[in-house]
Amino acid sequence: MKRAIHIVVFIIAAAMAIPAVAKGETKMSIWGKTADGVPVPIYTLTSGQIEVRVMAYGAHLVSVKAPDRNGKIADVVLGYDDLSTYLKTPNPFIGAIVGRYGNRIAGGKFTLDGKTYQIPLNEPTNALHGGPKGFDQYVWQAQEVPGGVEFTLVSPDGDMGFPGTLTAKVRYTLNGATLRIDYTATTDKPTVVNLTNHAYYNLHGDDQGNILDQKIEIAADRFTPVNSTLIPTGELAPVAGTPLDFRTPEVIGARINADNQQLKIAGGYDHNWVLNGNAGTIHLAAIVTDPVSGRKLTVETTQPGVQFYSGNFLNGAFTGRHGVKYEKHSGFCLETQHFPDSPNQPNFPSTVLRPGETMHSTTTLTFGVVK
């Protein structure tokens, strides 16, 4: 029987692999209230190198202010000016923690221990990021921790059709120029879980056009091809000889319109890459650089995959900070994760979590510059 991946042994391995985070400066304020009057705190984490803001609604990553090669500061994640905009525009999940199952489940249906579960669809044929009301639309409980803040959400048995009462924790801590995100989850019944952050990055700055001239490197020899509904076929295909080969740095827009069926299906990049490192230990996922500003983002993770999404479905319908409309390719996502539709793919690493086990993963985002 497959065991749920990232149980306690992986917690020990991850803790050994990643140094402890030094305490940074954390300030809290109330950003506003939900429609039913629940206050939403927002936290500002500063280190002297970068500034990060995260809030309790959806455990969103709201802002990352980082310098360019000349010291000029810009916000390098997409976001909104106020809480009310987040409340009324949950999709496209800008900056949110998505769950209980990040990414897609085919037909919203899976079978676990002989019982079939149905998640409400929020795409024509799939459940995406946990269904119509995922973890991105709840106010999480917040507690300051050394160097940052930990958010906790208790998802009851049957929430969006998922079995088991799941207790999820997401901890953001800042050390120098590195933002670390730790995810943990426990359950009282067998369930499936896949938590990730859905931030959109633009290393030019959040109001400075599209990301097509930025360069990306992805540490993966293989990816999971998708069918016409963006569900993996089950194959682990080599990237070699395809426009999805980013084993060496390549401009995002260089091949995005290539005559390739996978790119045509997704309207660009919206695929899961099978990372070369060992799941449960920290390893490189991706490096993105902006030749104009010199900003650099390095993503490392204990997860087996990363979803690189080039903002194909952004269409100008969402107005971000500075009054800028987020058009197609205004930002890119690097969602460290288990593979999409894993509950229906027996050959993929398992996302099953059982009572007595603890799901744990860590992702680090390091912001630097290249001269």
What residues contact residue 15 under an 8 Å CB cut-off, 6+ apart? none
Task: Compute the distance between CA of residue 151 and CA of residue 43 in angstroms, rounded to an integer.
Answer: 11
Which pairing describes strands 295-301 and 178-187: parallel, antiparallel, or unpaired?
unpaired
Residue given tokens 């020899």 in the structure block: 221
Task: Compute the distance between CA of residue 364 and CA of residue 95 in angstroms, rounded to an integer.
Answer: 15
Task: Compute the distance between CA of residue 71 and CA of residue 23 in angstroms, rounded to an integer.
Answer: 24
Instruction: Mark whether 360 is an active-site residue.
Output: no
Task: Compute the distance between CA of residue 170 and CA of residue 160 in angstroms, rounded to an integer.
Answer: 20
DSSP state of 232: B
Residue given tokens 């949950």 in the structure block: 90
List 129, 150, 329, 335, catalytic entry: 335
Backbone phi, psi, residue 170, to 5°: -130, 120
Taking the mean position of all CA atoms in its chain, how far away is CA 368? 20
Instruction: Mark whether 6 is an active-site residue.
Output: no
Task: Compute the distance between CA of residue 93 and CA of residue 129 in angstroms, rounded to an integer.
Answer: 9
Taking the mean position of all CA atoms in its chain, how far away is CA 209? 22
List 6, 198, 329, 338, catalytic entry: 198
List residues with catalytic annotation. 198, 335
